[in-house]
Structure 1
């Protein structure tokens, strides 16, 4: 076992198959994606050869992804200009919706994937069902990364971020256990870690959407489903979590932790496991003074891990939706585009073929997350939750999750309260 570091950029990826797309003719301009069913028809290029891409990225490597995509698309499509437009995270959704109300907005939108329903209901996204249905590589994408509303495809995710089970290899070696593959193995390993004087696991118990994000895998591992909320699986899940707090495996301080603090605590040493994401590679490489690794969360066949990260869509009032779709097809939704995201920031390509690229499979950390996508990946937010109820659902479940960890609610009371609350939302 060895310590892993974040891969360095491989700018040569801008060549090859994606550049070969330069032979494709640009599609004709149409007033909206829905008027032609979202299907691009090759023809005379639009007089508008500029497309705008709104995003909220400020991280250097995330911005570099956009610059690489700009270079790819402009090189493959002579005379086209891509304008990347930064909008602060907390301003992006309001600006998109207000722009749509006035009949304007970007050609391409890169946004928090969980907000696809909100933005679609707000009139900010164009249906792209026709484009997606005629996309030759659509079959490479699991359905869990395709965002639909009322039967229409509004967005997809070219890459995803998700949770896995980080482990301290030195602690596991000391207590004589292997990285767990089942919940029983995980619970036994945490008992052994606590008996040896270590903490068992770190995670977020914040009473908001972050808490719900981290609760979801454990709830679904016992069979919970938003499509049919039942008390019994929730009682089982909450009982397990309270057993963690009662044994000392999980500190009740987790109710104040976002996803950053638990990983910093894990990286400082003295903790066997951390439920955290692929985006923590850099922190692990620079901070952890021990050997570590990642395995998929051991949540069985029913368990699901939300596939987070950014969604990509066509703006509802794009001046050239055909060109916007070609941009998405040749960048975010392409094989090389997925590999670029993995190489620069450690995000996992949604495309199954790109997830098998060496940049992922040669990194055992990323490979574990890719396995989770294939076996346990789930839509974020859960499809059974109406788009207009997502914010309330995430808050309510996050608050109950926090109360269970903090000991304010018994497993039975928490389960019944959650089912009752969801009945009014779903």
Structure 2
């Protein structure tokens, strides 16, 4: 019997990690072969939707969260409450990794990627500063860094989806919610950004930066802080200074979006129970998630995975796991109508970029955004 799994991982480490999962499952299930099929990320949703139209498809799909609505609407995946509710370990997973459409569960993220506040400990020591827990504390330290000839913070401001993800902690910290959108919190956030650029804390060039460039700036020792993710752990090892990571210094209203791929059984699988068992034993198990931590650099979603010495003994990993539990929010945001997710996230990211670049006053930018955003959130 062959179990097919569609995915879009293509690095050597990722491929090796998947094979480790397959070898373990096959060893426990004689006669079963796990077959992985690579589908380029930009083709995954279309290929799965097309297959569903012909009443075909894989046993397991590993897909991007933004494709959940399209896959659900096409019938490529089905609601999984009946199975998930019977999974003994379901309570180990935070609400933030549940992917829902119209209130029904269509996928779970076995692992996540997320943002934290990277800091240059050597520079903090030189400045006589502590790791900040509030935005005013961070701004005070950034002022000292600029006075010492360094940048305050690096982050992405590239138009589009990445900037919505980057901006979410900050504008939700100011009180913005997709469920009750108001201009004032966005204007406050844009004012903060433009204050940072005016004072030299943040480079206006960040308006064109993806996630890679700002971290290169940080790793080179040019900035005291970087708002960036767990996937930079490997890159951070190249730094010649002592560094660490902490939760972003946002208010209790703010949250960090949990990225990472979603898993579910294919609607047209001929081996649904076996496919469910595969996910429970691999992507949704402690051992499986720790395997993916090694090969993908992603953070386990399970709360009990934090008890592993692999994580608890590592200050960076343990901090990211703590952020998942305390600040993690579902991505995409459940308040955004599923069919408009890409449009909304692109729009919000574009205006974050405009604010960084100084393309308008905070109030004008916020009002322009609301004029376009509110109708999309009411559909």
Question: How far did 1:68 drift?
Answer: 1.2
Give me the whole-angstrom Cα distance separating, in 1, the residues matched to 2:143 and 2:156: 20
Question: How far did 1:153 drift?
Answer: 1.3
Checking the alignment, whether the CA contact within 8 Å between 1:294 and 1:365 is kept in structure 2 is: yes
The residue number in structure 1 matching 2:212 is 260
Runs of 4 or more above 6 Å deviation: none
Paired residues for 1:343-354 under 5 Å: 343-354=294-305
Give me the whole-angstrom Cα distance separating, in 1, the residues matched to 2:220 and 2:121: 14
Unaligned stretches of 5+ residues in structure 1 = 1-48
The residue number in structure 2 matching 1:331 is 282
TM-score w.r.t. structure 2 length? 0.97
Secondary structure of the residue that 1:370 maps to in structure 2?
helix
1:358 has 2:309 as partner: yes
1:377 has 2:334 as partner: no
Paired residues for 1:285-324 under 5 Å: 285=237, 287-324=238-275
Q: In terms of Rg, which structure is larger?
A: 1
Checking the alignment, whether the CA contact within 8 Å between 2:283 and 2:289 is kept in structure 1 is: yes
1:315-358 deviations in Å (ceiling 9; x for gaps): 12111111111100111111111121223332111010013321
Give me the whole-angstrom Cα distance separating, in 2, the residues matched to 1:162 and 1:100: 31
Give me the whole-angstrom Cα distance separating, in 1, the residues matched to 2:179 and 2:319: 28
1:218 has 2:170 as partner: yes
Checking the alignment, whether the CA contact within 8 Å between 1:342 and 1:360 is kept in structure 2 is: no
Question: How far did 1:268 drift?
Answer: 1.3
Question: How far did 1:300 drift?
Answer: 2.2
Give me the whole-angstrom Cα distance separating, in 2, the residues matched to 1:71 and 1:192: 53
Question: How far did 1:92 drift?
Answer: 1.3
The residue number in structure 2 matching 1:12 is none
Unaligned stretches of 5+ residues in structure 2 = none
Secondary structure of the residue that 2:117 maps to in structure 1?
strand
Aligned residues: 377
Among candidates 69, 75, 86, match of residue 27 of structure 2: 75
Question: How far did 1:157 drift?
Answer: 0.6
Note the aligned Cα RMSD (angstroms).
Answer: 1.1
1:119 has 2:87 as partner: no
Question: How far did 1:419 drift?
Answer: 1.9
Give me the whole-angstrom Cα distance separating, in 2, the residues matched to 1:202 and 1:406: 14
Checking the alignment, whether the CA contact within 8 Å between 1:193 and 1:200 is kept in structure 2 is: yes
Question: How far did 1:265 drift?
Answer: 1.4
